[in-house]
Amino acid sequence: MSIRNRTYLSQFIPVARGLQQYLGDMYEVILHDVSEPNASIVFIAGDLTHRTVGDPLTNVVIEEMKRHGDDAQDMIGYLSELPDGRHFKSSTVFLRDESGILRGCLCINMDISPYQSAIDLLSRAVSTMKPQNPEIFTRNITEVVDTIVTEQFRQTPVSPEDMTKTQRIAFISELERKGVFEVKGSVERVAQLLGISVFTVYSYLKEVQKD
């Protein structure tokens, strides 16, 4: 984390702590430094996702930043799900300095699982907007990359070994659009999952970025 980011984000730590204390145990509030996607969490209050300081950004935040950069749009009331089946209502608010540079984001997760049996009565309280892809909570950035790549495999009509060069380039293009290659070590992981060399991935990526 840069000194400037550390200074800027430190002012939000009391806000995050107080917000979680006010909302209660069914909520988790996380402060991220977006300049460090592999280890973005600088503060966390609550323990819904079992993450800690130094854990990475989620795929949803990475994709939004890739699409819009410093103009990333706040995401309010979307549906998230943990591997154990629990459902969250989540919101992400992006934090910018006085120059408009994106420095971090404040994320709030609410565990709505206890309300599932009474969802009709509480529909207004737990109404959700589901993102294009489910948000992945993990303590390992490789899992985030794997999830995005796996989802792209599902949307591709042929297996990796049967892809033509054109199909592989299109596949790499989609991963680039979703921000996968913003993550350190992602090229090597994508090469492994596709069964091709790192050099080939870089070659395809160069073609994609040239266009």
pLDDT in tens, 61-104: 999 999 999 999 999 999 888 878 788 899 999 999 999 999 99
Which residue among 118, 135, 152 closes a domain?
135
Q: Tell me which residue of 182, 187, 160 sits closest to 171, measured CA to CA.
A: 160
Q: What are phi and psi of 58, to 5 degrees?
A: -90, 165
Cα–Cα distance measured from residue 150 to residue 124, given in angstroms and rounded to the nearest whole number: 33
Number of structural domains the chain divides into: 2
Among 135, 168, 192, give the residue marking a domain's end.
135
21 and 87 together in one domain: yes
Domain span at 44:
3-135
Could you read off the pLDDT of 104-152 as tens digits, one per residue?
999 999 998 877 656 666 566 656 555 556 677 777 888 888 888 988 9
Q: What is the pTM of this model?
A: 0.72
Residues 154 and 195 in one domain: yes
The answer to whether residues 114 and 39 belong to one domain is yes
